């Protein structure tokens, strides 16, 4: 292992820490938090709107069905009336039967019209509720759109920093000995992202615990390329 290898390992660790911090910043943008809250609110409004629209569709379908039934009744009544006019010489019984059916169809038409009116009236409060909901939703959507632009801009800036950090990390990591790199990655995965730490004075910067003076003297007496670990946390420890 050449001189400077452990210093390069610390550079890789610092870049890994930076990448973690940038990733966290990207996910925890203040604008993102505000946007998430607005999206929850918009989701609730969308559910409310969907329920209202479903009810309105049912009423519209009922109205159309009633209109179709009224048209059928009108057509049948017109046909019977035409037969009555054309059958002046028919028997009284036949004329009375046709007249009775005309009255029945007229009564049925009035009943259908009443039901149609109910369906139309029932749509009015739904339309009012939909209009009120649209009024509530508009300013929230406007604010959400502004936040989306701010989130996109903030993420783009962080993405640029991430790309630079990842490129630098790849270049530095490629120069590490494979065995050291593998050992570092195993430790980093096990120890919350920190596989290498500095020995600052008597303290490990990874676990922030102090080593004994004897252990510190032993480590500092070793050659600079010797790989040692913190006896407190197990991280690769590099004297500084």
Confidence category of residue 120, pLDDT binned at 50, 70, 90: very high
May I ask the CATH architecture of the domain 20-172? Orthogonal Bundle (1.10)
pLDDT at 4: 86
Confidence category of residue 96, pLDDT binned at 50, 70, 90: confident
CA dihedral 187, 188, 190, 192 (to 10 degrees): 140
pLDDT at 149: 96
Tokens of 7: 């210093």
Residue 1 clears pLDDT 60, i.e. is over it: no
The residues spanned by each domain of the chain are: 20-172, 178-239
Comparing C-alpha atoms, which of 184, 232, 236 is closest to residue 208?
232
Residue 2 clears pLDDT 60, i.e. is over it: no
Instruction: Quickly tell me which residue has 């004994």 as its tokens.
Output: 212
What letters, b where the CB count within 10 A reaches 16 and e where it falls short, cover 8-38? Answer: bbbbbbbbbebbeebeeebeebebbebbeeb
Q: What is the mean pLDDT of residues 133-159?
A: 96
Q: Can you tell me the distance from the alpha carbon of 165 to that of 15, in angstroms, rounded to the nearest whole number? A: 6
Tens digits of per-residue pLDDT, 28-62?
999 999 999 999 999 999 999 999 999 999 999 99
Instruction: Quickly tell me which residue has 């252990």 as its tokens.
Output: 215
Q: What is the mean pLDDT of residues 213-238?
A: 91
Q: Which of 39-48, 57-66, 87-96, 203-212 has the lowest mean pLDDT?
A: 87-96
Q: What is the mean pLDDT of residues 62-68?
A: 96
Residue 136 clears pLDDT 60, i.e. is over it: yes
pLDDT at 80: 87
Q: In whole numbers, what is the pLDDT of the chain averaged over residues?
A: 93
pLDDT at 84: 81
């Amino acid at each position: 292992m050449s001189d400077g290898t452990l210093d390069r390992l610390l550079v890789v660790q610092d870049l890994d820490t930076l990448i973690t911090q940038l990733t966290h910043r990207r996910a925890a943008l203040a604008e993102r938090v505000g946007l998430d809250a607005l999206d929850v609110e918009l989701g609730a409004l969308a559910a409310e709107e969907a329920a209202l629209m479903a009810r309105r569709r049912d009423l519209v379908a009922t109205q159309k069905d009633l209109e179709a039934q009224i048209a059928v009744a009108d057509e049948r009544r017109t046909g019977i009336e035409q037969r009555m006019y054309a059958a002046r010489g028919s028997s009284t019984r036949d004329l009375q039967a046709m007249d009775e059916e005309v009255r029945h169809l007229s009564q049925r038409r009035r009943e259908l019209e009443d039901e149609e009116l109910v369906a139309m009236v029932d749509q009015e409060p739904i339309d009012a509720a939909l209009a009120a909901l649209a009024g509530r939703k508009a300013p929230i959507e406007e604010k959400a759109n502004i936040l989306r632009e701010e989130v996109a801009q903030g993420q783009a800036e962080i993405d640029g920093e991430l790309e630079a950090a990842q490129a630098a990390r790849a270049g530095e990591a490629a120069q590490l000995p494979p065995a050291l790199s593998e050992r570092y990655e195993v430790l980093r995965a096990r120890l919350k992202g920190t596989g290498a730490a500095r020995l600052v004075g008597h303290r490990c910067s990874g676990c922030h615990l102090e080593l004994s003076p004897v252990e510190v003297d032993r480590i500092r007496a070793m050659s600079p390329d010797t790989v040692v670990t913190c006896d407190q946390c197990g991280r690769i420890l590099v004297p500084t």
